[in-house]
Structure 1
Amino acid sequence: MDVPTSKLADPAWRPSRKAPLLWASGIVILWLVLIVAQALLALARPGIGWPLAAAAVATVVLAPLHIIGVPWWRYRVHRWEITGEAVHTRQGWLVQEHRIAPISRVQTVDTTRGPIDRLLGLATVTVTTASSAGAVTIPALDLDVAERTVRELTDIAAQTRGDAT
């Protein structure tokens, strides 16, 4: 039995150069909540010294690694591309996922901007398809790139025959 040996080509485009800053800010918020919880616990229960000290040491070691390492790695992995035939993304951190959605299956194209996205001038494009796997997302695009991508994708989908089901 012959096994196909062709490799799926990686999508061509990366998210915005500001994407790591967006992802790091979300991680910082998570760590700040944990640090506040540790401080409140230390104030409320001063008798449990060594477990709190161990948690503080772990926080001091792990937080910077997480804040710097994860966004950098995500930026190295995340890719996206839109062609006349499909929307192709590669995302993930530990588990990487390739998604290819044929243009004929596109139902809606949306843009989402959270508060930090707006502050950084970023947006996420979500392409909803007739797929049980769910929507395809293209995160952390510069706003002008996201708007251009939505227009382009809408134009391509409008010219493509298919019932998007």
Structure 2
Amino acid sequence: MESADLSLRPPRHRVSRTAIWFWTVRAVLGWLVLTAVQVAWLLLDDGDRGPHVVAFAVTAVLAVAHVAVMPWWRYKVHRWETTADAVYTQSGWLRQEWRIAPISRIQTVDSERGPLEQLFGLANVTVTTASAAGPLRVHGLGRDTARRLVDELTARTEATTGDAT
């Protein structure tokens, strides 16, 4: 029996385009929290306003750059694919990671949706294996795509003989 080619390669499928807006809103909310802390610091401090202005300017520049670049960059990088033999993922935006998990090594397949992801109709799929590198995660899938992926991987895993270790 010839073994399958499980070479490291870019997966074929992108995550949902809606993930761009989800990542954008999540980033904006994070920067708003930091801005609120800075406003509280400004209101509670009677001293020199110079450090406040510098901190706010740095925050504004970083926030605009992060919100403008990060969601699109992540969308271009985040990919996934399943074949009869393996699950492929590619993720990250500054630090990128490519992973392959043979179907025979899958132990569990999970899907989760946080409140903000539910609002955007998105879901995440986690594929757990016996690997010391940890589970494979696919973030930003459309809800229906995630459901189909979980069903497909569960069926393939059940049909695969082996001990998943």
On whether the aligned pair clears a TM of 0.5, the verdict is yes
1:155 maps to what in 2? Answer: 155
1:102 maps to what in 2? Answer: 102
Q: Distance in 2 between matches of 1:25 and 1:115?
A: 13
Q: Distance in 2 between matches of 1:75 and 1:62?
A: 20
Pairing 1:143–2:104 present: no
2:82 maps to what in 1? Answer: 82
Q: Secondary structure of the residue that 1:23 maps to in structure 2?
A: helix
1:112 maps to what in 2? Answer: 112
2:40 maps to what in 1? Answer: 40
> Structure 2 matches for 1:3-22, cutoff 5 A?
8-22=8-22
- Name the aligned partner's letter for residue 63 of structure 2: A
Deviation at 1:158, TM superposition (A): 1.4
The two structures, once aligned, show a CA RMSD in angstroms of: 1.2
Deviation >4 Å, runs of 4+: none
Q: Distance in 1 between matches of 2:130 and 2:9?
A: 23
**Structure 1: tracts of 5 or more residues without a match:** 1-6
Q: Secondary structure of the residue that 1:8 maps to in structure 2?
A: coil
Deviation at 1:141, TM superposition (A): 0.4
Q: Identity percentage over the alignment?
A: 51
1:132 maps to what in 2? Answer: 132
Q: Distance in 2 between matches of 1:148 and 1:113?
A: 15
Asked if the contact 2:80/2:90 (under 8 Å) is kept, the reply is yes
1:51 maps to what in 2? Answer: 51
Q: Distance in 2 between matches of 1:98 and 1:108?
A: 20
Asked if the contact 2:8/2:99 (under 8 Å) is kept, the reply is no
**Structure 2: tracts of 5 or more residues without a match:** 1-6
Say how many residue pairs are matched. 159
Deviation at 1:95, TM superposition (A): 1.1
Pairing 1:93–2:93 present: yes
Q: Secondary structure of the residue that 1:27 maps to in structure 2?
A: helix
Deviation at 1:59, TM superposition (A): 2.1
